[in-house]
Amino acid sequence: MANPTTSLPLYERVARKNTIARAIELSILSLLLSLLAYRILSFQDHGFGWLLAFLCESWFAFIWVLTVSSKWNQVVYETYPQRVLQRKLELPPVDMFVTTADPVLEPPILTVNTVLSLLALDYPADKLACYVSDDGGSPLTFYSLVEASKFAKLRVPFCKKYSIPVRAPFRYFSGDSMSSQDTSPQFQQDWKKMKDEYEQLSQKIEDAAKGSIPCELIGEFADFMNIQRRNHASIVKVIWENKEAGDANGVVPHLVYISREKRPKHPHHFKAGAMNILTRVSGVMTNAPFMLNVDCDMYVNNPQIVLHALCLLLGVKSDKDCAFVQFPQHFYDGLKDDPYGSQWAVLHEYLGRGLAGIQGPFYGGTGCFHRRKVIYGLSPYEYDEEISGKLSDQNLQKTFGSSMEFTKSGAQILSGSKSTSSSPHNLLRSVEAANQVATCVYEYGTAWGREMGWIYGSTTEDILTGLTIHGRGWKSTSCTPTLPGFLGCAPSGGPATMTQHKRWATGLLEILVTRRSPLILTLVGKLQFRQCLAYLWILLWGLRSVPELCYATLPAYCIISGSRFLPKCYPEAPRNTETVFGVTQKEKSPTNSSDDDNANVGMVGRITFNESPIFISATMVLLVHQTGLVWNFKVQTGGSRWACLEYESGALALLFVHLSRWSSMVQGFGDETRTHEINVLLREGVSGRDSNPTGYAGLTTELVLNMGE
């Protein structure tokens, strides 16, 4: 009789009930279509403002169709990691990738904490290998990792002995971590020892960062002698090799440092190139069937993430239903209410779960588990005969490259066979082959970056790679455990946010015009139609600002030109107007703090203006509106008494609102510690029966007119 615990599913696919939300979304869509129909029927009676409004509203309706389609079938995957252990299966190896590029913009202590959180996962240490890609070729980063490996030999057993929930030391020791743990004298003694060791590690890295050279460039550091960031040979260093297989609680996983070769005249393809190097180096060293990649600023928040991911990777009926498992990106110490929209809370809650009900979530570039065979370009619909044809030596070298060690490991992955070696990997013997596949000329004449690996051609290589995988017919899954899998740091200032958004917008538009456009992959590939609409939703993200800005300037244009763009209402009798302003409650951050911790608390909720261009559009619209008011601020002698009173009172109220916001914005640019002082909540209404309408329609963007009998 079968054990009931082994027959239980590793995950459940739960469909969310969103009937009310669907009804509301369809109602909004019907209103948008009705408005478009009204504008088409009324074209002959209006001018340019009406046409521009029609074009903008058509765009809004199109985007809303994409949104409704993407959110329609919301699905949540509930995983049961303990059932993986209960089945007593042989747990598969997992290779973990960490990418960093600049020791100044990405401090080594941040990378160290991410690596330490990965090394301390609740998973057999002999099944894990951590590879760190340093695109900066910095001896400081390598030195920090060497010191971190020494600390990890103490930290990993401590975490597993006491089941420490937070495995990143800088987060664990930043709060009152000891109060929620065991209060035994032994734990308190070990806790203080760990804290002292971590403080010493942090001090060593900080002292090394202050010097131009962190240490003497001899021995293991000799390869960094006279190194140039954009012109150096490949460097592969085995910092720590786990040779104690079987002792899962007392050892540290493999830790390997990689700095790929860079030459001035050879393209390096940014992060996509670094990820392909990591894939090849890990292929000749450990060749795990599953790979996890994280950014250096995103540490592990849930120590059981590997088990959660395996619930989906091993629990699906067919591999084609789960090419990769994407964990949503969550952030720590973000600004209150997310003023820059960089934390994506709503996006993950609704759109992410909607994508899970179609062909799966997008690849987010970090916090993702991949099947290695999918990254190697395998299609889910290839038969054994087709796969066998790819395993010939000639085809393997044409696809994987000239390295015999790597082509052999690639054939092993594509065929689905396990390693025949019973002894643990000897990483030091693989360093020479690893250096070969890390050169900048290795990819020439191969399929890397085109048909396999991370795809080149866009600065948003994550979306392009995920789109290519979905275009082959694979599906993906999202994993949303109660305790978030990863936590990262989001940009807290305007300039950093603008730089990030510019890169995203540019990269997404690059994908839209390539041969891997979702429209093309839907027609000639295996991309589902609704998944295509979802990709269009995100690829068109950068273009949305154009119609939104045009629509925001329409009221000012109508004031200046004496036209209107909103439908006219004709009530049966004059009505009294009541201007209603709702002022939101404000919270003032403390100005004085006794220590750094209190200062950090004061930062929460504060908007950092710096010298940010993020407010230029809003300021321009504000100036245009004020210009329109001054231009058209006159007594409407040709209209009725109600029309004159309506315009004058509305204009004065709107002018007051603008002046209030203007003062707040000026103060914000002048002093970084100030926030917007006045937020005006607005409701919209239109009245009057003047046959010769004024530019009053533009006032509705800022003013509240609540109609009453």
For residue 474, the tally of other CB atoms under 10 A from its CB is: 24
What interhelical angle do 545-561 and 48-71 show, nearest 10?
150
Give the separation between CA 33 and CA 426, rounded to whole angstroms. Answer: 65
* Radius of gyration for the chain, computed over Cα atoms and rounded to the nearest angstrom: 30
CA angle 501, 507, 513 (to 5 degrees): 135
**Residue 358 contacts by C-beta under 8 Å, 6 or more apart in sequence?**
70, 73, 528, 530, 531, 534
Distances (CA, A) of 221 to 139, 224, 421: 7, 6, 32
Nearest residue to 552 via CA among 565, 541, 540, 543: 565
Strands of 452-518 (E only): list them. Answer: 477-478, 486-488
HSE toward the beta carbon, residue 596, CA cutoff 13 A: 1
Look at residue 587 and give its three-state secondary structure.
Answer: coil
Active site residues: 135, 462
Q: What is the DSSP-derived secondary structure letter of residue 499?
A: H
Q: Is 77:11 a contact under the CB 8 Å cutoff?
A: yes
Look at residue 134 and give its three-state secondary structure.
Answer: strand
Distances (CA, A) of 507 to 143, 255, 277, 348, 460: 34, 32, 21, 21, 5
CA angle 42, 48, 54 (to 5 degrees): 55
Work out the burial of residue 613: count CB atoms within 10 Å of its CB; fewer than 13 is exposed, 13-18 middle, 19 or more buried: exposed
Tell whether residue 548 is among the known ligand binding residues.
no
Q: Is 289:372 a contact under the CB 8 Å cutoff?
A: yes
Q: Which helix (H) or strand (E) is 557 found in, with range?
A: helix 545-561
Tell whether residue 135 is among the known ligand binding residues.
yes
Residue with token string 């916090």:
367
For residue 71, the tally of other CB atoms under 10 A from its CB is: 21
Q: Is 650:658 a contact under the CB 8 Å cutoff?
A: no
Distances (CA, A) of 213 to 102, 225, 226: 15, 10, 11
**Given its phi and psi angles, is residue 606 left (phi above 0), alpha (psi -120 to 50 degrees) or beta?**
beta
Q: Which helix (H) or strand (E) is 630 found in, with range?
A: helix 616-632
Would the CA dihedral through 314, 318, 323, 324 be positive or negative?
A: negative
Give the separation between CA 693 and CA 705, rounded to whole angstroms. Answer: 17
Give the separation between CA 328 and CA 485, rounded to whole angstroms. Answer: 8
Tell whether residue 295 is among the known ligand binding residues.
yes
Give the separation between CA 509 and CA 518, rounded to whole angstroms. Answer: 12
Nearest residue to 213 via CA among 198, 224, 202: 224
Look at residue 687 and give its three-state secondary structure.
Answer: coil
Q: What is the DSSP-derived secondary structure letter of residue 613?
A: G
Q: Is 141:100 a contact under the CB 8 Å cutoff?
A: yes
Query: With helix as H, strand as E and coil as C, how does 264-294 read?
Result: CCCCCCHHHHHHHHHHHHHHHHCCCCEEEEE
Tell whether residue 247 is among the known ligand binding residues.
no
Residue 242 phi/psi, 5-degree rounding, is -85, 110
Binding residues for UDP-alpha-D-glucose, by number, are: 106, 135
Binding residues for Mn(2+), by number, are: 271, 295
